[in-house]
Amino acid sequence: MTLLDAVRFNDAGLVPAIAQEAESGRVLMMAWMNAEAINQTIATGFAHYYSRSRRQQWQKGESSGHVQRVRAIHLDCDGDTILLTIDQTGPACHTNRQSCFYRRLEGDGWVTIEEPVA
């Protein structure tokens, strides 16, 4: 069975993909992949995603240089989420932070726990 055969895409033909930094184990971001993005990722060794707002493929870092070299691709038990173990160059988040998960719930509000890279 190929990876694509095992993936359970949603009704829009997409599957969530989590990018996790290989060395630290830190979750850096979540984005969407379609079959073409998965195939491009496998073929190039760099993370490709599908932009729902732009309705097009994109390679992470194609404009910023903050690419994600993929070390491994994992599929969860239900087949409906992909985990990319990656080596990140530069910040992963479009806000110029290392991770898109830079806010933490404390009490009844969100606290910023990571500032943008200077």
Flag whether pLDDT at 1 surpasses 90: no
End-to-end CA distance of the chain: 45
- Identify the structural domains of the chain with CATH numbers, from first to last: 3-92 (3.10.20.810)
Q: What is the pLDDT of residues 75-84, one digit of tens each?
A: 999 999 999 9
At residue 118, the pLDDT reads: 79
pLDDT of residue 93: 95
**How many whole angstroms separate alpha carbon 39 and alpha carbon 94?**
24
